[in-house]
Structure formats: structure tokens, C-alpha cells
Amino acid sequence: MIVFPNAKINIGLQITEKRPDGFHNLESCFYPIPVSDLLEVIPDSKTGFEVDGTDIPGDVTTNLCLRAYDLLKRDFELPPVQMYLYKQIPIGAGLGGGSADAAFTLRLLNEQFALALSIEQLETYARQLGSDCAFFIQNRPRYCFEKGDRFEDIDLSLSGYTLVLVYPNLAISTAEAYAGIQPQKPSVSLRTALQAPVGDWQKTIRNDFENTLFRKYPLLDRIKQELYQGGAVYASMSGSGSTIYGIFEQAVHLPDHFQHYQVWQKTL
């Protein structure tokens, strides 16, 4: 079976407090976007894993696809499988690519081997693999809170807008980004701010990681400003960076020097 694990962007990200378990509580809107990896799983005589495309740092045996398989294998009689991942979502990008691969592996194995797991059960498994993973089980725009792994539905559609993603070939680890954060109770309710027209978001919707990461990597702030200069109705960093995205009312001509970055332009 073949699936296409897709990325997400964060629209607003408020880090509200540090938790006793060392993680942080946050509030954010997670929005699925059409930039995807490809994952194929075939029953085989022994389990194997092969990756093509973008290089994934670290030992292949720690890949989240294999970890998702191992997690289900503890509870179910899964046959050995050959897994093939074509990696396209950039790494350390704040786009949740690894989390999407993990969640789609759980979903695929559930379907391919008729495990009959419910959405809630899949989300419980996903939470064990990473904070962002559970979102990709249902994979629709959600308002997320706690570790980013609890959700409420949100009435939000960017359909018809053009999304530009700029990945400046700079990987930022999530742990590095959280290390620079001073959690703060928000003065503006993100949930309320998201109900306003997209053109108003610039005044009210922030990603709390931008403060420290823009100081450390001024290039990121420059890219955001260039997206606004190019006509974005809203621009922000996604998640813990480094991807900067812009939301436009129509297709856009980007500055020539963006050719040095990885850029996607998609009509949603």
C-alpha cells in the first residue's frame, strides 16, 4: 500500500507554560498542506527500511516509520514488511514531516492489516511517537493545545489562497527552539484572532519561536519581510522553524535570490 504523508503549517503558536514533564503547553492552529513524502509498505520475508530523496540525519533504525511499526508490533501479530520512504518534506523545518510519516505508518498498517483500531486508539499510539504525530491521524485544520496533541475543531479554510513556503536550507531542531523560550500567558486569544479575516492576522497572530530564532538567524526575519513586501496577506515562521510561509491572494513572483532556497508555491 502507498500513502502520501503531508506536511503542516502552524498558524499562530503560543507557548504558554513549561510542564512538570519538561515539555511545554502550547496553543496553535495546525493546518495540513499539500507538500508530501511517499511511503510504501509491502509484506516481505523480513522487515527492512529504505529511504530515498532528502537525507535524514541519524541512524536509519531510529526512523519514525520503523518506530511506528515496532510500536504496533508490540500489540499485534504484524508480518515482516519492507518499507520504502521517499523523503521530500524538509527536515528541521517546522513542517512536521517526521511526525506525518509516523502517523501515516500507523494509519497504513491499521488499514493494510485490518487491525480495526479506532481514531482514538491511533491517536493514543501516535502520542507515544511525538507531540505533533496525533494531529496527522485526522489530518484536518485543528486548534491544538497541551503538548500540541489535544485538539478542537476549528472553522478555518484557506481554500483559494496561494501558499508560499520558503525553506532556507537551515535545519533547526525542535529541542533547540524550545530551549530559547520563555513561556508566557497570551494577552490575545489565538482562537478568537483566527476567526478574523486573514488580512487582520498580521496584527494579532504570532509564533512565539520567532523572537529568539529571528535574533539568532536574522535571515528568517528578512524572508518574512520580503514575503510581506511581495504582497502576502499573512506571513510567519511555521512551528519551531526554519520554514517561513506567506499566504497570498494570488500567485506571486518571488525575488530572484529565493532560488538559493527550497520554495513551494501552491494554490490551496
Ligand X SMILES: C[C@](O)(CO)[C@H](O)COP(=O)(O)OP(=O)(O)OC[C@H]1O[C@@H](n2ccc(N)nc2=O)[C@H](O)[C@@H]1O
Q: Are 81 and 42 contacting, i.e. CB atoms less than 8 angstroms apart?
A: yes
The answer to whether 8 is a known catalytic residue is yes
d(C-alpha 158, C-alpha 151), whole Å: 19
Which residues contact ligand ATP by CB under 6 A? Answer: 56-58, 63-65, 87, 91-99, 101, 132, 174, 239-240
Tell me: is residue 48 an annotated ligand-binding position: no
59 contact partners, CB below 8 Å, separation of at least 6: none
Q: Does 178 bind ligand X (CB under 6 A)?
A: yes
- Which range, of 91-99, 114-122, 156-164, 193-201, touches ligand X by CB under 6 A? 91-99
For residue 139, give the nearest of 14, 229, 7, 2 by alpha carbon. 7
Q: Which residue has the cell 519492507?
A: 82
101 is an interface residue for ligand X by CB under 6 A: no
Nearer to ligand X, 12 or 81 (CB): 12
Distance (Å, whole) CA 106 – CA 133 = 10
The three-point CA angle 106-110-114 to 5° equals: 170
Strand ranges, E, within 19-153 = 24-36, 38-43, 48-53, 81-87, 142-145, 150-153
Give backbone dihedrals phi and psi of 243, rounded to 5 degrees, phi first: -70, 135
Q: Which is nearer to ligand ATP, 53 or 231 (CB)?
A: 53
Q: Which entry of ligand X, ligand ATP, none binds 148, CB below 5 to 8 A by partner kind? A: ligand X
Please pick, among 8, 87, 101, 224, the residue that the annotation labels catalytic: 8
Interface residue with ligand X among 67, 73, 147, 191 (CB under 6 A) is 147
Please indicate whether residue 224 is annotated as part of the active site: no
| Rounded CA separation 50/86 (Å) | 9
183 marked as part of a ligand binding site: no
Is the CB of 67 or the CB of 147 nearer to ligand X?
A: 147
Residue nearest to ligand ATP (CB): 98
The site partner of 12 among ligand X, ligand ATP, none (C-beta below 5 to 8 Å per kind) is none
Task: Show which residues are catalytic.
Answer: 8, 132
| Binding-site entries for ATP | 90-100
Residues lying near ligand X in the complex (CB under 6 A) = 10, 23-24, 26, 28, 94, 96, 99, 130-132, 147-148, 174-175, 178, 239-240
